[in-house]
Amino acid sequence: MDKLKKFDFQEILNKGLVFGVLIGLVILFAILTGGKFIQPSNLITIVSQIVPYALLGFGMTFILITGGIDLSVGSILGFGGILCAKLIIMGCPIWLAILFSLIAGAGIGFINGYCVTKLAVVPFIVTLGTQFAFRGLTQLIGGGKPVSIQAMEDKNVVNAFIWIGNGEILGIPVPIIIMIITGIILGVILAKTGYGRRIYAVGSNEEASRLSGINVTRTKLIAYTLSGLTSTIAGILLAAKLASAQSNAGTGYELEGIAAAVIGGTSVNGGVGTILGTIIGAFVMGVLRNGLNLLKVNAFIQMIIIGAIIVIGVWYDTKRRNKIKL
Amino acid sequence: MNKLLEMKNITKIFPGVKALDNVTLDLNQGEVHALCGENGAGKSTLMKILSGVHQASEGTIFIEGNQVYLNGTKSAQELGISIIFQEFNLCEHLSISDNIWLDRQPQKFGLINDRKMHKMTSEILKELGISINPKTPVSELSVAQQQMVEIAKAISFDSKILVLDEPTAALTDSEIDSLFEVILKLKRKGVGMFYISHRLEELSRITDRVSIIRDGQYIATKIFKDISIDEIIALMVGRSLEDKYPKFDRIIGETRLYVKEIKNSKIHIKDFEVKSGEILALAGLMDAGRTEFARALFGADSTDIKDVILDGQSVNFAEPEKSIKLGLGYITEDRKKDGLALNMSVEENINLANIPNLTTKGFVSNYKAKENARKYIENIHIKTPSMYQKAGNLSGGNQQKIVLAKWICNDIKVLIFDEPTRGIDVGAKYEVYELMNKLSSENVAIIMISSELPEVLGMSDRILVMQGGQIRGELETKIATQEQILNLAI
């Protein structure tokens, strides 16, 4: 068993590499911006910016590990935000509005899971379809207009809702705290529970898992439901931050979520990935954007750089995986 | 006889492993040269060097006396060397012709000349004595026919040297017959062939010489007529196996599993029973419906009628999940496809069917998981550098042991073994047989699906022969012969 340590070291090295890249970027930007980059206020800004992407990335990680994909998370984000705002406007207490939105968001994720498992349509197609459908649903609820909380008469309600998106506890913005708590819970589920093991098993070899008594349908359904849930959390936080829910909120965010997961080492072929990796991936994206902004790099060039990083990340991942002879 | 090929002092070093150590081998024109050795002995590596997939670290290769350098599969192909791997390299959706002439289709005005291509294919197929329309997509062919396409492809390259890696592993007996006819035809044409197979019994029909490799080292080359199978095995394992099948007196008890009736579109079985401590063999040809029966019973495939009694109680094996809880296990035929999660660790694979037992309140106990894995790695001698090694990196025999461990660690009452020793070496086979005996002594009822008749006769207490999805007959192993089984099977 003496080779055990060596193997673990290899794993740490692989994960450490992305983390190393992140630290390298931070140091690089710190120097290039003359320290502006690592001022606490800027760092908080970065983390606040990545909150929605990380949350979408968490759910995406679960789904990618099962070997699926979820293109509808951006639409679910929009749906969650607008539903919550609409309910509050209609006089529903904030906590109830949030609870109801979360349940609805999870339910909408469940629909994705149902189509993937019971109807056996490939995830790409299912969620491509629901991306449209859920966006339509969102527009329908919002009547094609933003739903503004700010305009409400009861300022107590307005302030309470805004606090969720902008308030601080011990100097840390509430959305960041919520992201961290969600990340820890999902990370523990993935790494430590029987469900976590099942999800990796299903992504590694679905048929072998089924024949080993793993309920593949349930495992996938839970993953899609969780993705619906984290997307809705992101949607509510975004609406609370702006005190207004936009019916086009989250458009294109699914790609940010996928990118965060993939840069963090999650494989689109399934079976591989971690929540910690996804957080690091989201940070890499956030740090790049912010740093390049501070350096006044053209926004179009930023896109090119981020695109290149995604491809390089996956290329490296594939190369690493090919070392296993199958 | 003309010497076609010489491989001299071939050494191959992979990072950390010496896969081949100074191996020397030759091949004559029109000869079938069998390569024997346990899994991981280095046969495949040697053949991959010959076909240009790997490059030798040291050593030289001569073809018809000229030294050659094989720095890729293309250069090997140009020199007339073709290899047919266990897993075929065919494009399923393309036609037979397109596969054979892939990337070198005959052309006319820069466009592919389909008519000419199909005609060229027909000629080759005719030469091989096969009558299939060259336009047929490969996906519509049987495994045996696909193999013929691979051979036809090799012929189309005018190959002088052909390597066949486990060509009969997935073939029925009659398909093997026609394969051997083709091999004999090629022999008469002067093609030299290396032939790798774990089924030593079949070698006698085609083999001229046999070479044995063990642990990356060359052991011996013998004229096949002058050596017995037992001697070959002894050379392969480096010790003499007294018997290929461990002797064991099984104590057979009450009926554990009784299938009153089970039916779906492929099979219809009635009055099937297996007793406590018994090994019941299911014999038959490839498409007899044995695996289909196992899958239907296990709940992996749907059924129209299913009336099953386990230990005197009516049970519903609706889903694998449910069947396992009730005490039924199923070791699949193809461990890579549906037995193992290859890129997961040995530990995770051993515990794959055991997750409920490791979890309390939803959380997996790392301690329990590791202890369980360690126990089986030690008890059944799974050779792995660590339990965190990925299952895909182990040899076939060790992979099969992982699959076994997966089921043994569950409290299993009835266990179905589908081709328990396919593609694993003699030493590992023996260990698998011993494990089967041990399980039977713990009152597990075993259903063994096997296409190897010596295994059926060597390991079982009772034999059921299937054909066309139904049971055709029952034989008492003690007095059964291979001929009797075959008569029922065909």
pLDDT computed for residue A12 by the predictor: 58
User: Are A208 and B340 a contacting pair at CB < 8 A?
Assistant: yes
Q: Which residues have C-beta within 8 Å of that of residue B415, sequence separation ≥ 6? A: B328, B329, B330, B331, B407, B439, B444, B445, B446, B447
Which of B321, B339, B389 has its CB closest to that of A213?
B321
Residue in chain A closest to B357 (alpha carbons) equals A194
User: Are A193 and B359 a contacting pair at CB < 8 A?
Assistant: yes
Residue with tokens 């809880």: B325
- Span A25-43, pLDDT tens digits: 999 999 999 888 989 899 9
Give the orientation angle of helix A3-32 with respect to helix A275-294, to 10 degrees: 20
Q: Which residues have C-beta within 8 Å of that of residue B338, sequence separation ≥ 6? A: A205, A207, A208, A211, B332
User: Are A197 and B351 a contacting pair at CB < 8 A?
Assistant: yes
| Averaged pLDDT, groups of 10, chain B, 490 residues long | 88 77 92 85 87 89 91 86 83 90 85 90 87 90 86 88 85 84 90 88 90 89 89 75 73 92 92 93 86 94 92 91 92 88 91 89 90 90 86 84 88 91 80 91 93 86 92 90 81
From residue A223, alpha-carbon distances to A60, A230, B14 in Å are: 9, 11, 40
- Residues in chain B within 8 Å Cβ distance of A324: 342-343, 390, 392-393
Q: Is the pLDDT of residue A217 over 90?
A: yes
Torsion of CA B96, B99, B101, B107, to 10 degrees: 80
User: Are B352 and A201 a contacting pair at CB < 8 A?
Assistant: yes
- Residues in chain A within 8 Å Cβ distance of B364: 192-194, 196-197
- Span A242-285, pLDDT tens digits: 999 998 999 999 999 999 999 888 988 889 899 999 999 999 99
- Span A98-134, pLDDT tens digits: 999 999 999 999 999 999 999 999 999 999 999 999 9
- Band (A2; pLDDT cuts 50, 70, 90): very low
Q: Is the pLDDT of residue A316 over 80?
A: no
pLDDT computed for residue A5 by the predictor: 41
Residue B63, token pair as written in the block:
């073809």
Q: Are strands B161-165 and B192-196 parallel, antiparallel or unpaired?
A: parallel
Which of A192, A194, A209 has its CB closest to that of B356?
A194
Helix (H) or strand (E) holding B23: strand B17-28
User: Are A201 and B351 a contacting pair at CB < 8 A?
Assistant: no
Pair A154, A89: CB distance under 8 Å:
no
Which of A197, A215, A325 has its CB closest to that of B364?
A197
pLDDT computed for residue A14 by the predictor: 60
- Residues in chain B within 8 Å Cβ distance of A186: none
Question: CA–CA separation, A29 vs A23, rounded Å?
Answer: 10
Which of A197, A201, A211 has its CB closest to that of B338?
A211
pTM more than 0.90: no
Q: Which residues have C-beta within 8 Å of that of residue B118, sequence separation ≥ 6? A: B97, B134, B135
Residue B456 main-chain phi, psi, to 5 deg: -55, -50
Q: Is the pLDDT of residue A325 over 50?
A: no
User: Are A192 and B351 a contacting pair at CB < 8 A?
Assistant: no
What is the separation of C-alpha B290 from the centre of its chain, rounded to a whole number of angstroms?
Answer: 16
- Residues in chain B within 8 Å Cβ distance of A7: 385-386, 388-389
User: Are B390 and A204 a contacting pair at CB < 8 A?
Assistant: no
End-to-end CA distance of chain A: 23
pLDDT computed for residue A126 by the predictor: 96
Q: In this prediction, does ipTM exceed 0.90?
A: no
- Residues in chain A within 8 Å Cβ distance of B300: 210-211
pLDDT computed for residue B13 by the predictor: 83
User: Residue range A10-30: average pLDDT?
Assistant: 78
User: Are B339 and A208 a contacting pair at CB < 8 A?
Assistant: yes
Which of B337, B343, B388 has its CB closest to that of A204?
B343
User: Are B323 and A192 a contacting pair at CB < 8 A?
Assistant: no
User: Residue range A69-82: average pLDDT?
Assistant: 96
pLDDT computed for residue B275 by the predictor: 94
pLDDT computed for residue A7 by the predictor: 47
